[in-house]
């Protein structure tokens, strides 16, 4: 289970907000004892919503490139994890809207 524990709205044309999540269980329902990640970015680009892990900006050949600071080496597992964070963020935002 992944829960959003903090949300910061961002006023940017492509970024909806930044989140802090806590991971209690993930792969095969294994316990991860409160592992948290700060600085996850929630994007909305041309109607496509997705999340990215905290990243570091570097310059390569004069162009900005963003390098994730955390993730899984297995790309399928990494995408599953990102999808779970997005779902937790969507649920958090849905419940926030109900409380307004």
- Domains in the chain (CATH in brackets) are 2-98 (3.30.1120)
What's the rounded Cα separation, in Å, for the pair 62 and 78?
28
pTM, 2 dp: 0.84
- The per-residue pLDDT for 19 is 96
65, 57 Cβ separation under 8 angstroms: yes
What's the rounded Cα separation, in Å, for the pair 93 and 4?
9
Local confidence pLDDT in tens for the 100 residues of the chain:
899 999 999 989 899 999 999 998 777 776 677 889 999 999 999 999 999 999 999 999 999 999 999 999 999 999 999 999 999 999 999 987 665 4
**5 Rama class: left (phi>0) / alpha (psi -120 to 50) / beta:** alpha
Maximum CA pair distance of the chain? Answer: 47
Structure tokens of 92?
């958090």
Structure tokens of 94?
């849905």
From residue 18, alpha-carbon distances to 52, 75, 88 in Å are 10, 23, 13
């Amino acid at each position: 289970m992944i829960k959003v524990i903090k949300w910061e709205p961002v006023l940017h044309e492509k970024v909806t907000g930044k989140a802090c999540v806590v991971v209690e269980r993930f792969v095969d329902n294994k316990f991860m004892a409160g592992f948290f990640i700060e600085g996850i970015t929630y994007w909305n680009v041309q109607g496509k919503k997705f999340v990215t892990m905290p990243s570091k900006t570097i310059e390569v050949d004069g162009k900005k490139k963003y390098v994730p600071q955390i993730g899984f080496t297995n790309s399928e597992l990494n995408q599953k994890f990102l999808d779970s964070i997005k779902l937790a963020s969507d649920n958090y935002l849905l419940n926030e809207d109900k409380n307004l």
